[in-house]
Amino acid sequence: MGLIKNIKSYSEGIQISAEKREILTSFLSNGFPTTKDEEWKYTSLKKVIANEYSIENKGEIIDSSIIEKYSLGLKNKIIFSDGKLINTPIIKGVNINDFSEFESANTDSILQLNKALSQNGFTISVEKNTVLESPIEILFFSTTVNGFSQYRNQISIGENSEVKFIERLQNLNNSASFVNHFTQINCAKNTKVEYNKIQNNTAESQLIDTMNVYQEQDSTCNINTLIFGGSFIRNNLNFEQNGSNCESNMNGVSILNNNQLADNHTFVDHKSAHCRSNEMYKGVYLDNSKGVFNGKIMVRPDAQKIDAFQSNNNLLLSDTSSIDSKPQLEIYADDVKCSHGCTIGQLDDDALFYMRSRGIGIEEAKAVLTYAFASEAIENISVEQVKTLAKKLLAKKLNVDLDFSL
């Protein structure tokens, strides 16, 4: 059995368009990617898809105390329960609707599956000249045991608008849920967008998250990815810059333990001149955890005066943790600044001794150094509540009682 069979039997009982049926048939004959695919070389889906999943989701009512528990307490909340949209805020200049069809350029098999079968997700369109003070919080709850869910979300930001988002997927039982999540963001001219992903799901949960960002001129888009919980996480984050003076920023922090795996694949397609991209991914690996980073930067022939910076720094805090890190630069223009750096290390013994000699116990010293290591990426987040949560989750994950604020 396994997920492919679950999908097959589910799809036989539903009505979908001929086009979707064709996409699905193609997916079912090709199956999920394997480690023979270059993009999945270090991350195996074998175990994930061997599980049995329940595809028909119930959409239970979620108790308000549970919503509160997982919310950052912001007033604008979009809430899903097992795929059903159960709450939409009313915000001036922002239209929030349920799922609607849209085309996506990416043709990987996971997105094909998403395109063929996804019936859930949000559609947000932000009118021109809308500046939101308060971020929009988006919560996706899952109550189905071993539920397989697919979301397909679209955000369009009108010219000169500024919006921030915080997204969280939360499984409300301890089963091995699996989400195939896809979000497309279109940033019109002169827009500013920040999207924060809090990936702190239950221990057995699994996620493939794909985000495609399309930017017009003078737009800035920041995507922050904080990974703490979940057994399997694959993030595909793709930017396409289609106008001059665009800026794409990515900050990532992964703190993993036990047998967790987190894979961050990023791709910045510099198609226009005078644009920038910055990516900073920090990973901390304990126990048997495993990290993968693949950062691709493409600079097209006409994209002159590009400033692209990429860094991936990793701390391996056990003998059995590992990281595979791969920068990939393809540069076809001649007047560009591109740099990348990758480091893999342990905590500095001299720094540990220095702190211990000042009375800071070894576990606390390790936590402070780990925090210091990750903080550069955390500090780039502009939403205070997210920053505070990140610090709290970090201290919790490292099992120390430390207050990082002063």
Partner 1 sequence: MLQIKELKAGIEGNQILKGINLEVNAGEIHAIMGPNGSGKSTLSAVIAGKEEYEVEGGTISFDGKNLLELDPEERAHNGIFLSFQYPVEIPGISVSNFIKTSITEKRKAQGLQTLPTKDLLKMMREKMELLSIKKGYLSRNMNEGFSGGEKKRNEIFQMAMLEPKLAILDETDSGLDIDALRIVANGVNKLRTGDNATIVITHYQRLLDYIVPDFVHVLHNGRIIKSGGKELALELEEKGYDWITKEADKKWA
Return all residues near 239 (Cβ < 8 A) that are at least 6 apart: 213, 215, 221, 248, 266, 267, 268, 269, 277
Q: In terms of CB distance, is 331 or 347 closer to partner 1?
A: 347
Residue 343 in the binding site for partner 1 (CB under 8 A): no
Tell which one of 8, 58, 356, 396 touches partner 1 (CB under 8 A): 356
In degrees and rounded to multiples of 5, residue 298 shows phi and psi of: -115, 125
Q: Does 394 bind partner 1 (CB under 8 A)?
A: no
Give the shortest CB-394-to-partner 1 separation in angstroms: 12
Does residue number 361 form part of the binding site for partner 1 (CB under 8 A)?
yes
Residue 353, interface with partner 1 (CB under 8 A)? yes
Contact status: 364 vs partner 1 (CB under 8 A):
yes
Contact criterion met (CB below 8 Å) for 132 and 162: yes
Which residues are within 8 A (CB) of 69 and not within 5 positions of it... i.e. 6 or more apart? none
Q: What is the largest CA-CA distance in the chain?
A: 70
What's the min distance (Å) between Cβ of 403 and partner 1?
Answer: 8
Q: Residue count at the site for partner 1 (CB under 8 A)?
A: 27
Q: Residue 359, exposed/middle/buried by CB under 10 A (0-12, 13-18, 19+)?
A: exposed
By CB under 8 A, residue 369 contacts partner 1: yes
125: exposed, middle or buried (C-beta count within 10 Å: 0-12, 13-18, 19+)?
middle
Site membership for partner 1, residue 351 (CB under 8 A): yes
Question: Near partner 1 by CB under 8 A, which window of 139-147, 175-183, 308-316, 353-361?
Answer: 353-361
Q: Give the nearest distance from C-beta 256 to partner 1 in angstroms.
A: 19
Q: Phi then psi for 310, rounded to 5 degrees? A: -140, 135
Q: At closest approach, how far in Å is the CB of 375 from partner 1?
A: 4
> Which residues between 260 and 299 bind partner 1 (CB under 8 A)?
none
Place of tokens 């919503």: 67
Min dist. Cβ of residue 398 to partner 1 (A): 14
Contact residues for partner 1 (CB under 8 A)?
348-351, 353-362, 364-365, 368-369, 371-376, 402, 404, 406
